Amino acid sequence: MFEHEVVITSVGLITAGARSAKELFERIKNSDSCVSVVSELEELGFDNPVAAAIDAETWKWLEAMDPAQNSDWDSPSTHLAVTAADQAMESLGLAGQPVRAGVFAASNRAPMDVGDLAELVGSLDAANECVDLDRLGRWVETKRGRQGKNRRDQSALVLADRYGFHDAVMTSEDACAAGSIAIGTAYRYIRHGELDVAIAGGTELMCEFLPFLGFNSLGMINGDSDRDPAGRCRPFDGSRHGFVLGEGSAFLVLESAEHARARGAKPLARIAGFAKQSEAGSVLASTEDGSEFARCIQAALRDAGMSPEDIDHINAHGTSTLANDAAESRAISQVFGERTAEIPVTANKSALGHALGASGAIEAILSVMSLVEGTLLPTLNYEAADPSLPSLNVVTKARPAPLKTVMSNSFGMGGENCTLILEAA
């Protein structure tokens, strides 16, 4: 089967604390955390109201830009996705060109916010112990697009319509690996010649009441009130316990190298390998010995035609949970052997929190920028190794490094795993 080289030619993102990829890269490079107390969650009474949430000022900025052209789709998540994707698209001016093009957008959840819940109460018919659908219907009439907010595929459809990318339109909802899987799937389509161009990435807005309730009920969110908010997400650190939620949207423009050359576009990086797999284990925790993560990493290496010696840097999934970081450390050790203590590892979630379906795309962009800038980003809050785990070379301060390849891991809840291998252009 004929295969095309796939390159990344532009990127765009919005996260807590950053309105562009460059801004986010610089912020993490300076060890500046995006995690803080979220006043709305605090007011609701949560005793761990800490997250990397997009702040009110950024929402005002987004609203002022008003990029959504179709009001039916104008929900916060699509607004965010359109703005991030526009950054990627505008820089190269792809719109309007006749190409075979697709959209691959990840999103797991866009739940109702607390205001929706409060209004829903008005739809209850207490006397008859049922929901009054007529009242609910009238509520919907006043909230056009509100149910669209709950649709995972909304961003993909809006972007496909906006850019005229109609040849493949997909929504990945593969938990924490969804963003990476969206990129990897687009890579496959272009590699095999089915598309010339794709925009791929993910959007997630989870720093809200219901996700906080849900993840707290699972005991997964860090509740260490003795630490400053910025110090709570501590991937691979011996005192880690629990993740911090994040949110954002990130998109990358992928195209065949021939197509990029024909347009005179300069690639930022190329995608060398991709693997996605299922663990078929527990839905609550990854395989403890790391063997399933290792299997995924090895599959991506095979896809890239590379050996572990070819990898210069690992952008880890690194959630800061006890089990996930332990399994990832063991997986790195199994794959990289003696190089485990040498190969630099960073975990962006230490600064950004865990943006779930968007995290893989955000981290892929940061990995691309590390390749372009020749800079290793720090893992914030890493102070002491976990003595029970293989010793990793966790980067704690930004430093220059000549990088040719970066491996980006995304290991999702329920055992949906993905590894991308990115190479300098």
Partner 1 sequence: MRAEGRAARLGRAFRARPVRVEAAGIYAADGTALEDLLAGRRAAPSPLPFASGWLPRAEAFAAAEPDLRSSVYDRKALRTMDKQARLALAAAITCGAGLEPFADPARVGLFMGMPTVEEPVPSWEALAELGPDPADRAAMLQTFLTSTPPMTGLILLNSTACSHVASQFGVTGPTGVFSPWADAGLQALVEAAWSIVEGDNNRALVGGAAPTLNPFLYLHYEAQGLLGQGEALPPPGEGAAFVALRGGEPEAGAAVLSGYARLFEPDPAQAAAARARCIEAALESAAVTAAEVGWVLFDPHCGRAGVAAELSALQAVFGGLPPLGAWHEAVGHLGPAQPVLNVAAAAEALGGAGRVVCDGAGRCLGRETAPLRHVLINASGFEGQFACLVMSRYEHA
Give the x-and-dash track for 204-243 against partner 1 (CB under 8 A).
-----xxx-xxxxxx-x-----------------------
Tell me: does residue 412 bind partner 1 (CB under 8 A): yes
CB of 266 to partner 1, least distance (A): 26
CA-to-CA separations, 304 to 195, 311, 368, 413, in angstroms, rounded: 20, 11, 16, 25
Tell me: does residue 133 bind partner 1 (CB under 8 A): yes
- Tell which one of 55, 140, 306, 401 touches partner 1 (CB under 8 A): 140
- The DSSP call for residue 55 is P
Q: Is-catalytic flag, 176?
A: yes
Q: Is-catalytic flag, 4?
A: no
Give the x-and-dash track for 169-208 against partner 1 (CB under 8 A).
xxxxxxx--x--x---x------xxxx-------------
Helical (H) or strand (E) element with 331: helix 322-336
Tell me: does residue 259 bind partner 1 (CB under 8 A): no
Cβ(317)–Cβ(365) under 8 Å? no
Q: Encoding tokens for residue 341?
A: 């203590």
Distance CA 1, CA 6 (A): 15
Task: Spell out where 16-149 has E strands.
Answer: 36-37, 50-52, 101-106, 124-125, 130-131
- Indicate the residue among 272 and 351 with the shorter CB distance to partner 1: 272
- The stretch near partner 1 (CB under 8 A) out of 5-13, 117-125, 326-334, 383-391 is 117-125
CA-to-CA separations, 224 to 195, 329, 348, in angstroms, rounded: 47, 23, 20
Distance CA 422, CA 419 (A): 10
Q: Is-catalytic flag, 354?
A: yes
- Indicate the residue among 220 and 362 with the shorter CB distance to partner 1: 220
- Indicate the residue among 26 and 153 with the shorter CB distance to partner 1: 153
- Tell which one of 413, 420, 421, 422 touches partner 1 (CB under 8 A): 413
Tell me: does residue 292 bind partner 1 (CB under 8 A): yes
Residue 243: left if φ>0, alpha if ψ -120 to 50, beta else—which one? beta
Catalytic amino acids?
176, 317, 354
